[in-house]
Amino acid sequence: MAISSSSSSSMLLFPLLLAGVLLPSVVANFYQNVEITWGDGRGQIKNNGDLLTLSLDKPSGSGFQSKNEYLYGKIDMQLKLVAGNSAGTVTAYYLKSPGTTWDEIDFEFLGNLSGDPYTLHTNVFTQGKGNREQQFKLWFDPTADFHSYSILWNPQRIIFSVDGTPIREFKNMESQGVLFPKNQPMRMYSSLWNADDWATRGGLVKTDWSQAPFTASYRNFKEDACVWSNGKSSCPNGSSQGTSGSWLSQELDTTSQERMRWVQKSYMIYNYCTDTNRFPQGLPKECIAA
């Protein structure tokens, strides 16, 4: 999707959050840092651990997870999504804790017919409660090349970024009665699966299995995080000691806030905070407070 207006084009020149502020973290080797958890061979690690692919066909999809758990972190991954007619498929990339009252931070890429833009679906769950969806149309073709998708999670906020550009911020508003994920360690997961009952145009467009196998590719996984192990964090006393970045106190500066507002104005297609039909008794507290 091309950016047409001159004002939008000029916005592209803005310095991007998280591209130069944080110190670089080490690119992980997939053999060392993740494990393929399901798919019966449909998930594969290649190129000496530098590339991972997930595939989906009619019998099954596939998925993998990080070996580490995190209690706060900045997690980066480059993805190249399913090309062509990807209708009905979902590529999910997210952080999640176990249990029935789990926390979760979601990127989900909803496939579409050839030539139509992907829908990027985001959500935040705290203690098993979600319903905080924001959706976007990407301003580039995510199937033509790899692009970076980042989750920054610290005690003050969660920031979703695409190629270093912030698209969404979920702030800690516990002082106003809004739950925030802070106590449950989360692991990184990714999967490619069939969801043609809802993923494309509300389930109206079904998966065309003649196009299978569908394949998504991954590279440059970075985990700059407080690793949780044996009930302890690698960041003593909540400090960023042992990590390579200043992400534990990272926030959006004025330029980054303006950049995020531009993305939301230009490419957001759904925002739960404006859906008064869905919340007839009143919008969620974080929407009003924001």
Kindly list the catalytic residues.
Answer: 104, 108
Q: Where on the phi/psi map is residue 215: left (φ > 0), alpha (ψ -120 to 50), or beta?
A: beta
Spatial distance between the Cα atoms of 18 and 40, rounded to a whole number of angstroms:
36
- Give the count of beta carbons closer than 10 Å to the beta carbon of residue 158: 19
Task: Check: CB of residue 252 under 8 Å from CB of residue 17.
Answer: yes
Spatial distance between the Cα atoms of 39 and 170, rounded to a whole number of angstroms:
33
Task: Check: CB of residue 109 under 8 Å from CB of residue 129.
Answer: no
Residue 155 burial (C-beta neighbours within 10 Å; 0-12, 13-18, 19+): middle
Is the previous residue joined to 155 through a cis bond, with omega within 30 degrees of 0? no
DSSP code, position 158: E
| DSSP symbols for 213-274 | PEEEEEEEEEEEEEEEETTEESSGGG--TTSSS-GGG----HHHHHHHHHHHHHHEEEEGGG
